[in-house]
Amino acid sequence: MKLMIRVLLFSLLAWQAKAELVIEITQGKQSAIPVAVVPFKWKGEGALPENVAQIVANDLGRSGYFNSLPQTEMLSLPNSEEEVFYRDWELLKQDYLVVGEIDNDGRGGYAVNFKLIDVNTRTALMNQKLTGGAAALRDIAHFMSDRIFSALTGLPGAFSTKLVYVTTNRDRTQFNLNYADADGAREQMIFSSKMPIISPSWSADGKKIAYASFENGRSEIFIQEIASGKREKIASFKGSNSAPAFSPDGKKMAMVLSRNGNPDVYVMDLATRKLKRVTKHYGIDTEPQWMPDGKSLIFTSGRIGNPQIYKVSLSDLKPKRITFEGDYNARARITPDGRKMVMVHRNKGDFHIATQNMKTGAVQILSSETQLDESPSVAPNGSMVVYAASMGDRSILAAVSLDGEVKFRLPSKFGDVREPAWSPLLK
């Protein structure tokens, strides 16, 4: 099977930002499946620009579902199924093995042949050939990780997805909206301003970003195409314009406007720009998010005196409170299957990331290492949550699995990082 990896062209994104993220795994999953990704044999000349096997091993290990064996602990380094000495891997208690080779494809790119082997049954579960241009090795590696993850878990992989987030210097005089792989690599700048940028949100097709910018002295909502860099202002009403969220079908956008004097939730038809007011209350209603079916919204409201999460159907516009544990629940996000809600929850004075079961209401604290966690965003396969966390006097990105067992950090080498948003699955 062949796959031509396509690399997006970013005409606006030529400048490489200096806030590259570096992953630091802080907690692993005890029940993770053992897997060994053996270094691939390079059959060409010179050095490869990327270590494909290491990227795959890092992807799988970071997911929480797998425990990747370090190369230093491998007893042999086979590159084909015929070279596998199974007793080595049985002795190391490995369930699965990934082996492969990389060669030139004859067109200036690369051809990667790999196999996924079940050590216990001594059979190959996957045998694929992937090809791509000279700049596509990292894309190929992430795609490999997606296929392996899906084959062994039954869930779609999210390693080929992207993150957007806001970085700022220490004196907060420069704000950058950045774009990177899900592992923090290949960071590029989407937009830069001397004024704050907040609340980035992805379109369902992964081609556009919406965000609120203060570049003109007050908050306005923009939509920007990732590939071309084309920007369009869609909300600049009197008062505040903030918290944009694309609908699942991409035709509408929820947002918060104070055009009538108080922050309320509205829905805009993106084709006609017609607005529909969803909430009307003297309390602050903000941070709307769509339910997966696109028929209702969840949002944060202070209408009872402290922030809680409410759900409102777009058919009857009657908000119903859905969080009752704790005196602070905000910035809610729904998992793709609609079963859990991820939110910022105050517990004993600290702000942590928590989940709430949408059926039972049961709440589970996921993060506890820092005192101020905010802005959660759920991976499109529902496996992980990325969020902003405080670390000393800095703001960094961190991630935790939905069961709370796997945790890692993505600190920036320079400045603070905030407002992460995880892309949908990209085609």
User: Do strands 308-313 and 296-301 pair parallel, antiparallel, or not at all (unpaired)?
Assistant: antiparallel
Measured from the Cβ of residue 326, the count of other Cβ atoms closer than 10 Å reads 17
Nearest in space to 221 (alpha carbons), one of 170, 276, 266: 266
Sign of the alpha-carbon dihedral angle for 114, 127, 183, 372: negative
Q: Which residues of 92-129 are buried (b: 16+ CB within 10 A; e: fewer)?
A: bebbbbbbbbbeebeeebbbbbbbbbebeeeeeebebe
The pLDDT score that the predictor gives to residue 414 is: 65
The pLDDT score that the predictor gives to residue 8 is: 31
Instruction: For 21, list phi and psi in degrees, rounded to 5.
Output: -90, 145
∠ CA 344-387-153, nearest 5°, is 105
Q: Which residues pair with 250 in a beta bridge?
A: none
DSSP 73: G
User: How far apart are the C-alpha atoms of 283 and 256, rounded to whole Å?
Assistant: 13
Do the beta carbons of residue 412 and residue 191 sit within 8 Å? no
Measured from the Cβ of residue 277, the count of other Cβ atoms closer than 10 Å reads 13
- Give all domains of the chain, ordered by start, each with its CATH number: 15-153 (3.40.50.10070), 162-422 (2.120.10.30)
Residues of the chain scoring pLDDT < 70:
1-30, 411-414
User: How far apart are the C-alpha atoms of 280 and 263, rounded to whole Å?
Assistant: 9
Measured from the Cβ of residue 2, the count of other Cβ atoms closer than 10 Å reads 10
DSSP 82: G
The pLDDT score that the predictor gives to residue 362 is: 96
User: How far apart are the C-alpha atoms of 100 and 112, rounded to whole Å?
Assistant: 7
User: Do strands 264-269 and 329-334 pair parallel, antiparallel, or not at all (unpaired)?
Assistant: unpaired
The pLDDT score that the predictor gives to residue 17 is: 37
- Strand boundaries in 183-315, DSSP class E: 188-193, 197-202, 208-213, 220-225, 231-235, 241-246, 252-257, 264-269, 275-277, 285-290, 296-301, 308-313
Task: List Cα–Cα distances, 364 to 91, 355, 378, 422, in angstroms.
Answer: 38, 5, 15, 21
Indicate the pTM of the whole model: 0.88
Residue type, 149: F
3-class secondary structure, 267:
strand
- Half-sphere exposure at residue 394, Cβ-oriented, CA atoms within 13 angstroms: 16
Nearest in space to 334 (alpha carbons), one of 306, 298, 296: 298
User: How far apart are the C-alpha atoms of 193 and 173, rounded to whole Å?
Assistant: 8
The pLDDT score that the predictor gives to residue 14 is: 33
Measured from the Cβ of residue 349, the count of other Cβ atoms closer than 10 Å reads 7
The pLDDT score that the predictor gives to residue 21 is: 54
